[in-house]
Amino acid sequence: MLGKMMFKNGWRHPLRTVLTIIGVGIAISAYIFLKTVITGWYAGVEASSANRVVTRNKISLTFSLPLAYEQKIKTVPNVTEVTYGNWFGGTYIDEKNFFAQFAVDPDTYFDVYPEYLLEPGVLDTLKAERNACVVGRKLAERFKWEVGQEIRLIGTIFPGDWDFVIRGIYDGARPNTDTSTMFFNWKMFDEKIAETAPSRAGNVGFYIMSLADANSASQTCEAVDALFDNSSAETLTETESAFQLGFVSMSGSIIQALQVISFVIIAIVLLVLVNTMNMSARERMSEYGVLKTLGFQKSYIFRLILGESFVISVLGGLIGYLIGLGLITVMGKALGSFFPVFAIEPTTLIFAGITTLAVGIVAALPPTVSAIRTPIVDALREIG
């Protein structure tokens, strides 16, 4: 009986109820989208390994380091493997086709990054062929690339036309593994640089080390940097997560703004639903007076109002879920180049669900207090 009354009360003014549900749904979907964008921004940090540290030039990542540093870094205790690479930054056909490209040492890079899964024989080909490259599954799907296809990148940081042959497509061992990157042989890269800009040859952009003990990462970082104190190219070594966080911090203001907006959206949902429930309670004040006259307890009135609030908030939340899932699916394809991992986290859906229920409860409190505190005589005056 109570359930029927809750549902009927919720739909006594269909237009108002529908508009409120739509408003809640849009707000919840916007919250899901914004939180997914924030999660995508931090995807690189979340995917970082505690057993890896990164060394770069102390001045900036745009300054290089001598290749000769590799042998010295290998002598540092706790370092089990050292690899290196360069950010390439080329353009494919059009500048809007942005994606990450790295010249790496194939002999060591995929040992340090075992989460990049290659088909048997691909790594040997990458080592043997100077113009060979491997691309991530997501990147290959984006441009409809196939193994054996020839592609050309137009150099920006390193000028010229750079031709490659795709020899493999790698997959990720984990869901948050970035599969939107291209890797090619550093030796080919360095040989061409030696021809076009000899002064830039023999240098790398960064070193990455695997550690035997992640708990000693800070001591290892200090030991590596101590090797090159007062040299012409001093280093800054930090954990992989700290290194990735450095890129995220460049957009810190944007991320903070999105965080604030996501919570503002929740406040808007609450205000919309509280306004609807207050209007409903005022219209039914005489009915609540009759219920109290007949001996119904205050708890019954609370459950009646709470149920109506739940009907609206839950329906709005479900619509928000559906809109949010569709929006993420569509936008994931459009934003794939900016967010290599763009998917809704389970925690985002859980929090959105909890928020929907919490808003339903909180929105029911003001009209409940008003209905309970209004004397029966004042409530019955509205009968006419």
Cα gap 112→82, rounded to integer Å: 8
Cα gap 295→289, rounded to integer Å: 10
Q: What integer pLDDT is reported at residue 249 of this predicted model?
A: 55
Count of domains observed in the chain:
2
Alpha helices in 63-165 (DSSP H): 69-74, 109-112, 122-128, 137-143
Its domain, for residue 128, covers 59-233
Query: Are 192 and 97 found together in one domain?
Result: yes
pTM: 0.69
Cα gap 339→181, rounded to integer Å: 11
Helix, strand, coil fractions of the chain, as percent rounded to 5: 55, 20, 25
Query: Are 194 and 271 found together in one domain?
Result: no
Cα gap 37→148, rounded to integer Å: 34
Q: What integer pLDDT is reported at residue 116 of this predicted model?
A: 94
Cα gap 142→129, rounded to integer Å: 25
Query: Are 38 and 67 found together in one domain?
Result: no
Query: Are 12 and 73 found together in one domain?
Result: no
Query: Are 34 and 87 found together in one domain?
Result: no
Cα gap 336→318, rounded to integer Å: 26
Beta bridge partners of 153: 162
Q: What integer pLDDT is reported at residue 4 of this predicted model?
A: 61
Q: Is 51 part of any domain? A: no
Cα gap 214→221, rounded to integer Å: 11
Alpha helices in 114-204 (DSSP H): 122-128, 137-143, 186-196
Q: What integer pLDDT is reported at residue 82 of this predicted model?
A: 96
Query: Are 290 and 326 found together in one domain?
Result: yes
Query: Are 100 and 33 found together in one domain?
Result: no
Q: What is the mean pLDDT of each run of 10 residues along the chain (384 residues)?
A: 57 75 84 80 64 91 91 94 93 85 95 93 92 93 93 90 95 85 94 87 94 92 94 91 66 65 76 74 68 73 78 86 83 63 79 84 79 69 53
Q: Is 129 part of any domain? A: yes
Domain boundary among 183, 202, 233: 233
Q: What integer pLDDT is reported at residue 384 of this predicted model?
A: 45
Q: What integer pLDDT is reported at residue 279 of this predicted model?
A: 73
